[in-house]
Structure 1
């Protein structure tokens, strides 16, 4: 009887964890899809809503590491001053995992279609953290 009860308890916990991960993945994917839509409208302020508004936010790009939300936001505005520079964004998701409670890791590829400036593409890794019930990017490493 004890073995049956223990097995049922383990199955319940595993099912709950799986359901939680599925919901969390859906929430993160929705945020990423919203980011693409915001980018394609030329709306960098809305695009930035997926990022942690903190001095501890980290963005790693080809010029090095940028710390802080404000500096990351300013970097986007500088690199993408208009719709021609921004182009049309497409994300391809390559790997999605939950390495620990309240933490997600997404690896993907981005492609910017920019007829006037030339296309740009590369890969990204995003570390997400659930903060006050909301999934936010706490570290973004983008190549390209």
Structure 2
């Protein structure tokens, strides 16, 4: 009987920690998105790019096709949003964060940019991966 009680205690404890871990992961991913939103709204493109994996393997897929690599993605953003009037104020609506594996999630959402040159709205899907203990975007599909 003691064995069965201990087994139930172990299972309950394991499930509690597993749920907490997933919640902590989602909170950490939300924190990355918040930091990006703040950096974008200050026209700080390099700060915004801190949320991305600094690798040649980073993939961005948008209306103009695929951009590969962190540096190329930064150049793309700087070209498309050259001034504060273009970056404006960014907000996100996160519709779903789903676990893919222990170290990966995908995020579905909407972006809204209020700006002088005309507002911009769209949707995105991001793939986040935990790399060296930090959550980074490894793939971004935005349109």
TM-score by length of 1: 0.94
State the number of aligned residues.
Answer: 142
Runs of 4+ with deviation above 6 angstroms: none
1:4 shift after superposition: 2.9
Question: Which residue is 1:42 aligned to?
Answer: 43
Tell me by how many angstroms 1:102 deviates: 0.9
Unaligned 5+ residue runs, structure 1? Answer: none
CA-based RMSD of the aligned residues comes to 1.1
What do residues 70-100 of structure 1 show as CA deviations (whole Å, max 9, x unaligned)?
Answer: 1111100110001111111111110012121
Is the counterpart of residue 138 in structure 1 residue 138 in structure 2?
Answer: yes
Q: Which residue number corresponds to residue 89 of structure 1? A: 90
Provide the rounded CA distance (Å) in 1 between the counterparts of 2:11 and 2:131: 28
1:54-78 CA distance string (max 9 Å, x none): 0110001001111111111110011
Deviates more, 1:17-26 or 1:40-49: 17-26
Q: Which residue of 2 aligns with 1:118?
A: 118
SS of the equivalent of 2:50 reads: helix
* TM-score normalized with structure 2 length: 0.94
Paired residue secondary structure (1:94): strand
Q: Deviations over 1:74-132 (max 9, x none)?
A: 100110001111111111110012121011111110011123x2111000111000000
Secondary structure, counterpart of 1:50 in structure 2: coil
Matched position secondary structure for 1:126 = strand
Q: Which whole-Å CA distance do the structure 2 matches of 1:5 and 1:60 have between them? A: 50
Q: Structure 1 CA distance, aligned partners of 2:90 and 2:64?
A: 21
Residue in 2 that maps onto 1:21: 22
